Structure 1
Amino acid sequence: MSNYIRFDWAMKRLLRDKANFAVLEGLMTTLLKEKITIKRLLESESNQESEYDKYNRVDLLAEDEKGELILFEIQNNNEYAYFQRMLFGTSKLVTEYINRGEGYEKIRKIYSINIVYFALGSGTDFVYQGKTEFRGMHNNELLQLSPFQRQTFKVSEVSQLYPEYYILKVNDFNRWSKVPLEQWIYFLNTGEIPEDATAPGLPEARERLKLDKLKKDELKAYYRHLDNVVILRDNINTERAEGREEGREEGRAVGRKEGKEEGKREMALRMKAEGIPVDVIARCSGLKVEEINKL
């Protein structure tokens, strides 16, 4: 077992303390490749309605020194509509954090950081970035801001005005690396922080997320959380195994069906070679006249 607390548990209990902001700041700095300083935490939808949600998902909302919003969300279990969930989360923030009567120029920049422990979508990478761009339908030209807009909004690209999404698919990443982002992904998956970790935030995590720092009651609650996560992962693996078996059975059924179809075509070819009328062949084989004419 790891000597360090899982990141989702830390987000619930430890990283909400201002003294520990350096850990989250390190993750953001590594992702965005610029220094990020968290000013404060804001209200988010962390009050889940069920016990299931408490270990399946955790979220945290922060504001940096530039007034930009950073939504961290961890999802432990499969959710087929998770892409839409991400959209809902950022859309909700857009409307919640603008005062009535304020102009649209007051809409804040939002970063949505999603750490998922399941196979989201179909892709082979482990970190994905999503942003909004507008391109010409005829010449593929990227729509740019005017000089006045760049000066007013203090950004250089239209995409910088829109929510920016990051998806960290950490479940299958278990190789240690000298690359800072890969070091973070390794920690998020395994819970381990090797001594030569240099990524921003990980040295702080090594000091502040040690398992032996938890009080007795916290430790018991943490182990219950780990048990629940294991159950979740077992459910995911079971669903995958059942899905593969169903797929094999469907494949066998398809094979049988294809075999029957091939038999029909062979019978029709023999009857056609003997000069039997097409309509008679159709009645005997079950094939359509058009199909028989193409044989």
Structure 2
Amino acid sequence: MAKTITEYISLGEDYHKVKKIYSINIFYFDIGQGEDYLYHGQNHFIGVHTKDQLVVNTKERSVIVSKLSPEIFPEYILIRTNKFDKIAVTPLEEWMDYLKRGTIRPDTMTPGLGEAREKLRYYSMTPEDRYAYDEHLNAVMIQNDVLDSAKLEGYLEGLAESRAENKEKGKAKGLAEGEAEANLENAKKMKAMGIDLEMIRHITGITL
């Protein structure tokens, strides 16, 4: 616990800058006298459901509760799997059932248990199956990387083509506008010179 605290505080800083610490302890043996399977506290522990106080054995107490500065007050959560004997209904009870028996309901919606089930399946594989599964995942990731790279390249190529096309359209539009302005200017000059309007229209394509 002391090591955890030092990770969140710099040398010389005040204790009030330490982040709140929660110590979660899972026990598969009897650590003292109490009826609940879940206790919470700092230096004494109250049952979350039964509200009774857990009397921790002297031997275990020094292990569970570290001697820390009173300004820090880490909170402890004690999970007593041997005291859980219910049918799992709530998310907490489903977790307790998993911790005690290693079972997970197939229709569970409890956060984290779906991931835990996948981990159980993975580690229950034979070494050969696990290797094949890992290779499959690597192949899928490589394929996804290739597809992502191809999509990016396609996007960049399309963007470059679109810009080039717009540039060419801009050039063509500019040339057409320049040609029209030149024809108009020539038509005005021809008119000023007294050339017949029909002749001007025939030469420039502009109606005056």
Q: Normalising by the residue count of structure 1, what TM-score does the alignment of the two structures yield?
A: 0.31
Structure number with bigger Rg: 2
* Bigger RCO (CA 8 Å, 6+ sep): 1
Q: Normalising by the residue count of structure 2, what TM-score does the alignment of the two structures yield?
A: 0.43
